[in-house]
Amino acid sequence: MKKLKETKTGKKILAFGLSAAMILSLFSVAATADTVQNDDVTAQQNTTTAEELSTTEQASTEEGSTTVEETTTQEESTTVAETTTEEETTAPDTSTAVGASITVDNYIYRISDNNTVILKGFANGFSSAKVTVKNRIVYNGVTYKVVKIGAGAFRDETSIKKVVIWKNTTEIGKNAFRGCTNLKKVTIRTGVTLIRKYAFAGCSKLKTVNILSTKLTEVKRNAFKNIKSNAVINVMSKSVRLIVKASVPANIAVNRM
């Protein structure tokens, strides 16, 4: 009987142990499940955070790119605007380009080169009894040397009675004073080297010509054709006298001063 009780008591203890083991096992499984669930939640949170960070970085990068592009575009636009403004500011002044005509003191000049001009005649509507061919003129703050009287510059200008040509002029062009029928006196200063054909032809009242230039090397044929029959041309040197004498009619006196 006693053995039977002990056996029952042992079975109860075994059953209780098994029950306790099962309960502990269930607690362990539950804890493991909670841990796994927590790990999944943490991983999901980490993934979400990483995605949010990636999105934020991408947005930041896009904003940075947009800012750089806008800055670059703005800089390029500014550069283009500045370049355009500079080009507009430094556009060449065609009014003083070589070949341009300018008017100074009622005379027209054509710009040649190296700050020199050619006298082309009176400005429109202007006339004068005296023509003075200056050494220099000033236009728009620039000084130009007058080096030549152009072809036909004063042709048939009947108002002219006297002409003075200063030393920077080296050439008197073809027909320059042709047909100036009231011209009576001409003074040519020291710079002239060439008088072209018909320069004073037909100046029927031209009586006195004073050539002070010793540099004169050529007087073209008929330069003094049909001037006053008793006209006198005065020169400074023997060599110039020979040059002039060879080009004028025999009735024109050529004298050394």
Supply the pLDDT for residue 58. Answer: 53
Supply the pLDDT for residue 42. Answer: 47
Q: Is 187 exposed, middle or buried (0-12, 13-18, 19+ CB in 10 A)?
A: middle
- Contact indicator for 168, 135 with CB cutoff of 8 Å: yes
Q: How many residues does the chain have?
A: 257
Instruction: Give the pairing of strands 130-133 and 136-139.
Output: unpaired
This prediction has a pTM of: 0.65
C-alpha span between 1 and 216 (Å, rounded): 171
- Contact indicator for 120, 153 with CB cutoff of 8 Å: yes
**HSE-up of residue 108 (Cα within 13 Å, Cβ side):** 16
Q: Which of 147, 139, 199 is nearest to 168 (CA)?
A: 147
Instruction: Chunk the chain into consecutive blocks of 10 residues (it has 257) and report each block's average pLDDT, rounded to whole numbers.
Output: 49 55 50 47 46 48 49 52 48 74 97 94 96 97 97 98 98 98 97 98 98 97 96 97 95 95
The SS3 of residue 239 is helix
Q: Which of 87, 91, 109 is nearest to 100 (CA)?
A: 109
Return the structure tokens found at 46.
Answer: 């980490």
Supply the pLDDT for residue 52. Answer: 52
Q: Is 164 left (phi over 0), alpha (psi -120 to 50) or beta?
A: beta
Return the structure tokens found at 110.
Answer: 């054509």
